[in-house]
Amino acid sequence: MDANFLITTIIGTVCFAVLAPVIGCLIDGIDRIVSARMQGRVGPKLLQPYWDVRKLLGKDKVAVSGSEDTYIGLALFFAILAGGIFFSGGNLLLVVFVITLSSLFFIVAAYSTRSPYAEVGAARETLQVMSYEPMVLFMAVAFYQVVGTFDTSGVFLLRHPAICTAWGAFIGLCFVLTIKLRKSPFDISSSHHAHQEIVKGITTEMSGPTLAKVEIMHWCETVLFMGWVGVFFVFSHPISILVAVLVALVIYLFEIWVDNNFARVKWQAMLKWAWIVALVAGGLNVAVLAFI
């Protein structure tokens, strides 16, 4: 590992830590307004997610387990680090592993509370990780086959965007994106909308400032995942970055539409379909790329 890589990663991570929560917060605000309009409501103001987090930070500090806040802090740190590595042109495979590590700390935080509701949520979150992970790895492999390197900066040397030959992996990614963004029909670990089933799943015991960190972590994750979507459309032409941003927005709107139109499924169905899509869309794509 050379010093140059280390410095770009650190700068990238600091920039991501500053910018991603802002962008993620605005995306979340738009998400809530669009969702409300789809349900025939007016919905909250654009900055409502920011106000929610500020309120949570001002709440009294109470924790069932002393280590919970530390685990959540680590989950947030690794989510930011993953974003930093990705947007500074680092290794995509490393990004996948670091963001998974972040998810694991989130799960451990829920387990550390020993609450039955949080444990059910944590078990379900584990199943979610199990469901989307194969497809995410297929995406990284397909990316390597097309670009010739795992480094995301490699896309700027391409003559055609990766989507031309890796559209199977892209479709697979869009499918598991619903799980990663914790949206219905796959919001089984935290019951995003109803706020009723298994109390609040994985975040049941998290409150006040700890919950605020979870929200900020979700914002960072959203920005990173939109980056994954966009990276398929970037190539040597500078205008492709604009196209990538637009595609990411369209895909996010599509996710909101899916979120509002599909009822939550059981975990068995989620696992089955996520793996089927991973093997068909991702697996075939990787196989075909290996032979051409």
Partner 1 sequence: MGFASKSPWVIHYDASSCNGCDIEVLAALCPGYDVERFGIINTGNPKHADIFLVTGSVNEQNKPVLQEIYNQMLEPKVVVACGCCACTGGVFHDCYNVIGGVDQAIPVDVYAPGCAVRPEAIIDAVVEGLGVLEQKAAALKENQKKGA
Q: Between 29 and 227, name the residue whose CB sits nearer to partner 1.
A: 29
Q: Between 91 and 204, name the residue whose CB sits nearer to partner 1.
A: 204
Q: Between 75 and 118, name the residue whose CB sits nearer to partner 1.
A: 118
**The one-letter amino acid at 212:** A
Query: Interface with partner 1 by CB under 8 A: which residues?
Result: 32, 36, 39-45, 48, 51-52, 54-55, 58-60, 62, 194-196, 199-200, 203-208, 211
Minimum distance, C-beta of residue 27 to partner 1, in the bound complex (Å): 18
Q: Between 147 and 211, name the residue whose CB sits nearer to partner 1.
A: 211
**The one-letter amino acid at 129:** V
Overall residue count recorded for the chain in this entry: 292
Please, which residues bridge with residue 91 across strands? 151
Minimum distance, C-beta of residue 39 to partner 1, in the bound complex (Å): 7
Minimum distance, C-beta of residue 187 to partner 1, in the bound complex (Å): 14
Alpha helices in the chain (DSSP H): 3-38, 48-58, 68-87, 92-112, 116-147, 167-180, 208-231, 239-261, 267-277, 284-291
What gap in Å lies between CA 179 and CA 89, rounded to an integer? 25
Phi, psi angles (nearest 5°) of residue 91: -75, 120
Maximum separation of any 2 CA atoms in the chain, in Å: 60
Residue (of 121, 58, 106, 122) closest to 214 by Cα position: 106
Minimum distance, C-beta of residue 78 to partner 1, in the bound complex (Å): 24
What gap in Å lies between CA 154 and CA 256, rounded to an integer? 31
Q: Between 185 and 209, name the residue whose CB sits nearer to partner 1.
A: 209
Q: Between 196 and 268, name the residue whose CB sits nearer to partner 1.
A: 196
The one-character DSSP state at 156 is G
Minimum distance, C-beta of residue 184 to partner 1, in the bound complex (Å): 16
Minimum distance, C-beta of residue 60 to partner 1, in the bound complex (Å): 4
